Amino acid sequence: MQRTDLLIAGATVLTVDTEFTILEPGWVRVRDGEIVAVSAEPLAPEDGEEVIDGTGRLLMPGLVNTHVHLFQTLFRGVYEERPLGIYLDYIYRSGVEMRPEDSRLSAMLGSLEAVRNGTTTLVDHHFLNRIPELAEETIEGMRAVGVRAGLARTVMDMGTGIPTEVKETPEDGIRAVAALLEKYREEHDAGRVTIMTGPNTPGVNASDKAVIATRDFAREHGIRCSAHTAEYKGAVESVRTHYGYDGVVEWLHSLDALGPNFLAVHAVQVAPGEVDHLGETNTAISHNPFSNLFCGDRNAPVSDYMHAGCRVSFGTDGAANNNAQGVLDVLRITRLLQRTHPVEPEAISPQRAIRMATIEGAAAIGLDHLVGSIEVGKRADLALFDVEAMAHTTPTHDVVVQLVHSMKSSDVSTTIVDGVVVMRDRVIRTVAERDVLGDAAAAAKALVARLG
């Protein structure tokens, strides 16, 4: 992928810095992938720069998706209307049938969708680990398209209805995580490919041994854990049955698993005292409202987490239970669901929702020193939205409100990752998009046929 020096000229620049500065208009200069100037005064083009006209457009930090299952892009629209037990059976059995090329194509497909909706960072929560190549090819698919890649290589060592091929001992799982970290060490250290681990669904398909093993490895090697945490009532019941605790978070707290390097995904079935545990340990949250709604569960207590001091980020979850993978959609529904709160309907302002989708997401996975805001010294992960040319955003009285409540993923015209223009004027530059779509569709059809 070719990185060029860039000048984005005359856009409305939503910096998402500490003061939430908005430049109308503004100029942003990028050198070797780094933001070197953010100015309210016009900057003249320099030799060798690619100039992107921002007139009538909104420039903001690239969106951050802290939880997705990219393999599920191949199952979009297949199992949604089936009973949950059958749905889960197909999902877990797919780990037996998935081939490395399926992993690569599904990751490319999901990454293309992300780029088209302004998402520059993806964290794939990987739990189907029959062979190492499935995780490796997922990373390679993300790298091919050009997103900033994260992969949480998790461990499953228990659970009914889960094929033995995708279960492993915690020791074997940790060895695989170590090998993955070694393979991508240079890119991991640069923040270009972030390797994580974690117990997949604690108490359901990850035992106390898996929790402790991933906890210890993550702390020893300075990486993060991701875990489906108290996602549904069955998870709470499983922890009560197996370990005698009344809550998943309470049990994880007793194991000293929570902390700044732990990303609690979903965190729906959480009691008030457990919210305190999450806040006191500075545990991060990945809020996935669409999948919670799909599963018929309640909304996560997002404002409670905010008051407790947790960093709250956004995830789309997988395409098998959230067909459209837009972080902007998650941002909007989070704000609207909060409006139904009986006590704090205004707890999530438009500005706060935007922070959750950008800088808070970056912080949740340890990348806020690199991305999440438009500031000098940070890497250029940027999304440019058309504003003035769109009927649904005209007139624009307040660009922040318009972004949250009016703009669509399809309004993104240009997406830049680490200074590389991955998409300009809605044309993907890094891969042959039509070929990827065709190959992914064929792979999906074959995979579903193998599953029966």
List domains and CATH numbers for the chain.
Answer: 6-61+371-427 (2.30.40.10), 63-364 (3.20.20.140)
pLDDT at 83: 74
Could you tell me the pTM of the whole model?
Answer: 0.97
- φ and ψ at residue 118, rounded to 5 degrees: 85, 10
pLDDT at 438: 98
In 4-130 the beta strands, taken as DSSP E runs, fall at: 6-14, 22-31, 34-39, 50-53, 57-61, 63-68, 119-126
pLDDT at 90: 87
**Spatial contact of 213 and 168, defined as CB atoms under 8 Å apart:** no
**Spatial contact of 283 and 36, defined as CB atoms under 8 Å apart:** no
Low-confidence residues in the chain, pLDDT < 70: 1, 84
pLDDT at 416: 98
Nearest to 353 by CA among 342, 340, 338: 338
Cα separation, 150 vs 68, whole angstroms: 10
Q: Residue 49 has what DSSP assignment? A: P
Contacts of 189 (CB under 8 A, 6+ apart): none
Q: Which helix (H) or strand (E) holds 383?
A: strand 382-386
Cα separation, 297 vs 295, whole angstroms: 5
Q: Where are the alpha helices (DSSP H) in 11-167?
A: 84-97, 100-116, 132-145
pLDDT at 296: 81
What are the tokens at 279? 């806040």
